[in-house]
Structure 1
Amino acid sequence: MHAPDRRPQPDAHPARLILTLSLAATVGLGIGRFAYALVLPDMRDSLNWSYSAAGFMNTINAVGYLVGALMASRLIRRVGWSVAIRGGTVACVAALATCALTGNFIALSLARLVLGLGAAAGFVAGGALAATLAQSHPERANFLLSLFYAGPGVGILASGLIAPFALQYFGPGSWWIVWWALTLLSAAMTIPLFLIRIESRARFTEGSHASFAIPPVLIYLAGYFLFGAGYIAYMTFMIAYVRDAGGGAAAQAAFWSLIGVSAFVTPWVWRGVLALDRGGLATAIILGTNALGAALPILGNSTAWLAISAVVFGVAFFAVVGSTTAFVRFNYPHEVWPTAIAAMTISFGVGQTLGPIFVGAITDALGSLSYALNVSAALLALGALAALCQRKVGPKDSVLEVG
């Protein structure tokens, strides 16, 4: 008699596996994309950048992410899930090291581009696997998926506890030291991805008898575009705003860390809202809260007021992507999910590509970062209104039959 196979199945510990997969998002987004805001003020002063040039660094990163997201399914088919996740994350670590090695604008732009490409590979592949794991536990699906989307919050929290104090200790012009510290942190966070077994029977199909129909959800896509443009402006320039308002290393670290910590309560705060199957209502509620958080600094820049802004913004920010995933799951058959999510990603990606450089140009023209916050809050509020106008998609509107 053969002994029973007691090896753990791929989804035996879904929460632990999803949390490990989320490290790809921690490195690629939490550190690779968002930690730039912490280093931006010192880089801008040391390298004599305008706000437009500073914004361009996040624009080129967003371009890389958009291209990477569009190519992700093809990449996964060609090299497999594990290579896409691990390779994308390793590429992010290499790009972070490049940021520490040079102050050349072109070289830094290329590094930010690679960071976007790598982050997209890790995030899309990791997110798809996380969704597969979550779907096998329907009673906990939203909660389990939220664990993956909390990954960037870990990177935001960790970088917020490192960068401001390193800059304070080493003084002006030490931005490259911070990049080295973040590179080493990211390398350490990449190790667990090589210690788990990454596999899935899920496959991306080349085609389907049903294709995604854009007109019924055009207003929702517009709202997601506005979210992409609005949130990235806040996340790019808020640390500079805190510093200009007199906030030292402790204030900057506290502000940034509060945004990161907010990610950990997101699954519980929005569990009921994410379960709403009423068109774009869930997204509108969460995005409206996000807009409120972005608008609060306009009313004052005291430490307490900025802390409230960070918490309100952060607790909603991490839930918006989850709400769009829930919208797709509620309104479309399973075979249309990849196409529908790709459409959401394109809309969001274009928004976050245009947002930083657009808001940076406005700040250069008007001479104050407060205008950047005004624009950010307005874009998020308009996005919430657009999502509110989205009704539930009917069966006849959700897909177009082809072939």
Structure 2
Amino acid sequence: MPILAPAFYVALCGLAALAISQGIGRFAMTPILPMMQAEGLTLAQGGWLAAANYLGYLVGALSTIWLALSPAAAIRGALLAIAVSTLAMGFVDSFAAWLALRALAGVASGWVLVYVSAWALERLADLGRPGLGGALYAGVGTGVAVAGFACLVIMQLHSSADAAWLSLGVAAIAATGAIWAAFGSAAPRTQASQSGSRVSSAWLLIACYGAYGFGYIVPATFLPAMARQIVADPLAFGSAWPIFGTAAALSTLAAATLGAAMGPRRVWIVCMVIMAIGVAAPLLVPGLAGILLSALLVGATFVTITLAGMQEARRLYGSAARPVMAAMTSAFAVGQLIGPILIALVETMPHGFTVVLLMATASLLAGAAALTSQHE
């Protein structure tokens, strides 16, 4: 029996679920990558591991469009899969097994984002507290920040990447147990019969959300690794990811207020432009300062865009928004899958990283322009 008011209970449990799915299921490898590199993993191999996770995320998001799953079963099963696959990363020492485990975590992360977003946003609207959506999506940044700080401590203790995976796996199990009961009330909702036509009519939202996925993913995957190339101190290069996560968590709280004043689409457009500046920051500002500026600007906007995009879909399509959200998340997953693959392919090419950052910047600016061109 929750002791909090119902709306706060929904937001808090949704926050915790997104913290597990995004901070650990999707992004655990980002702060662990420098430790894995110190143990012999190459940047290209890191890129393929990230791509496996993002391919899984794409499969997970796409499957929510046609799978008739109980939201309770989907959310609970996905959270368990994230916890178990993260723990297993610390027990196995095979690159092929790592690829499979990160892909499984990606599938589960896609399920959690889509099902928890639909479950929580609908209930918050029913309870008259849609503004708490900002607190819900603060879970993404909270998970990123917690994982980042945990890995920073582990690096300072000169421990191994295996220890980091095991620590995050245990944290995921504990958090899943704490919120397990909340999703017993996640009863299936009837979807509108014209779901397919709604998805096809939302092509601009879907395409722009895909552009966002490609635009943010290079710094979101490789910031600590980029910082490690500039400075050897783990406290210095390891700080990039906690900054990213903290900025993400705090920004969503402000985004709810901005969304009420500006509307979700305008918030989405402004954040795409700010994120473009952040993605280009390592090219514009030399040294560690450019990396940390990128962490701040991309971190402060990437979850805000997620929130604004989901709110815009719900504003336009109401209770039938879940297939649109799933299609947007799938396009996002395609975009974020391309980034690590490009990095893996161009790692040894002169200025290859620079070219990918410029492509990501252009993608974000093009998405912002396209959203501006369509009348609300």
TM-score by length of 2: 0.89
Q: 1:86 aligns with which of 70, 76, 87?
A: 76
- 1:294-342 Cα deviation digits (max 9, x unpaired): 222222245555433322221111111111122223333x354123222
1:297 aligned to 2:282? yes
Q: Distance in 2 between matches of 1:226 and 1:296?
A: 18
Match of 2:336 in 1: 352
Q: Secondary structure in 1 aligned to 2:197? A: strand
Match of 1:366 in 2: 350
Q: Distance in 2 between matches of 1:391 and 1:276?
A: 18
1:320 aligned to 2:305? yes
Q: Distance in 1 between matches of 2:232 and 2:369?
A: 33
Q: Distance in 2 between matches of 1:391 and 1:362?
A: 39
Kept in 1: contact 2:195–2:320 (CA 8 A): no
Q: Secondary structure in 2 aligned to 1:364? A: coil
Q: Distance in 1 between matches of 2:343 and 2:215?
A: 9
Displacement of 1:226: 1.4
Matched AA of 1:55: G
1:72 aligned to 2:89? no
Q: Distance in 2 between matches of 1:323 and 1:62?
A: 21
RMSD: 2.7
Q: Secondary structure in 1 aligned to 2:348? A: helix
Q: 1:183 aligns with which of 148, 162, 169?
A: 169
Match of 1:164 in 2: 152
- 1:58-77 Cα deviation digits (max 9, x unpaired): 211112112112223655x4
Displacement of 1:25: 1.6
Q: 1:150 aligns with which of 138, 156, 176?
A: 138
Matched AA of 1:323: A
Q: 1:60 aligns with which of 40, 52, 74?
A: 52
Kept in 1: contact 2:28–2:147 (CA 8 A): yes
In structure 2, the CA distance between the partners of 1:278 and 1:189, relative to structure 1 (3 Å rule), is closer
Q: What count of residue pairs does the alignment treat as equivalent?
A: 376
Matching of residues 3-402 of structure 1 within 5 Å: 12-51=5-44, 53-72=45-64, 75=67, 77-78=68-69, 80-138=70-128, 140-141=129-130, 143-170=131-158, 174-196=160-182, 198-205=184-191, 207-208=193-194, 211-212=197-198, 214=200, 217-246=202-231, 248-275=233-260, 280-332=265-317, 334-366=318-350, 369-392=353-376
Matched AA of 1:239: P
- 1:174-204 Cα deviation digits (max 9, x unpaired): 2222111211222222121224363145514
Q: Secondary structure in 1 aligned to 2:208? A: helix
- Percent identical pairs in the alignment equals 26
Displacement of 1:15: 1.7
Matched AA of 2:125: Q
Runs of 5+ unmatched residues, structure 2: none
Q: Secondary structure in 1 aligned to 2:26? A: coil
Q: Distance in 2 between matches of 1:246 and 1:372?
A: 22
In structure 2, the CA distance between the partners of 1:287 and 1:243, relative to structure 1 (3 Å rule), is same
- 1:366-391 Cα deviation digits (max 9, x unpaired): 36644443343333223222322232
Displacement of 1:266: 2.1
Q: Distance in 1 between matches of 2:179 and 2:64?
A: 18
In structure 2, the CA distance between the partners of 1:335 and 1:37, relative to structure 1 (3 Å rule), is closer
Matched AA of 1:236: T
Kept in 1: contact 2:279–2:294 (CA 8 A): yes
Which structure has the larger Rg? 1
Matched AA of 2:193: G
In structure 2, the CA distance between the partners of 1:32 and 1:225, relative to structure 1 (3 Å rule), is same
Higher helix proportion (structure 1 or 2): 2
Matched AA of 2:63: M
